[in-house]
Amino acid sequence: MHLRLNTPRRNKVKLAAKDITILALMVAMIEVCKLALSQIPNVELTSFLIIMFTLYFGKRIFYVIPVFILIEGAIFGFGLWWIMYLYAWPLLALVTLLLRKMNTAWEWSMVSGIFGFLFGLLCAIPYIFTSGFRGAFAWWIAGIPWDLVHGIANFAIMMVLYQPMKYVMRKVTNTEQVS
């Protein structure tokens, strides 16, 4: 069985039941993995999965990310932390689309690791509006040890899982990365 999303023609977005099912499975996989690792601070598969899904399903990831973010808000509440998800995860997908020609575990591990290191800085942005620049800066600085864990974990996860997931994605989608 090969999973290939139907390609929209002339900028019309048309999703078949099969497409919706595949997108729902991607959301479920991200959410289940996130919840499974939630007891280990700043170790997550969300970055890895968003990168891999973006590489193989292209812009369709922008259907997956908002649903994931809404589910997160429904489960954990729509607090200030939730606002950062509205731009952090789409930013990772956008960076992945821009760098999609890269094809090695090392390159994607670097991207994922850097994203993990910068996640706290990205997350400090809403605090500018609630606590000012000094408050946001203090919040970011206080979280740097966690950002280091996040970056190292993201790097290691991508380094270990990139090739096996690439193999699975090629088999399942019957395609190379989206160009």
Asked whether 157 and 48 are in contact (CB, 8 A), the reply is yes
Portion of the chain with pLDDT greater than 70, in percent: 91
- The reported pLDDT for the residue numbered 10 is 55
- The reported pLDDT for the residue numbered 19 is 86
pLDDT in tens, 6-16: 555 555 667 78
The structural domains of the chain, with segments of one domain joined by +, span: 17-173
**Secondary-structure percent of the chain, ordered helix, strand, coil, rounded to 5:** 75, 0, 25
pLDDT in tens, 73-116: 999 999 999 999 999 999 999 999 999 999 999 999 999 999 99
Report the C-alpha gap between 145 and 13 in whole angstroms.
43
Report the C-alpha gap between 136 and 129 in whole angstroms.
9
- The reported pLDDT for the residue numbered 44 is 97
Place of tokens 């994203």: 115
Give me 168's structure tokens: 């699975």
DSSP, res 175: S
Fold classification of 17-173 is Arp2/3 complex 21 kDa subunit ARPC3 (1.10.1760)
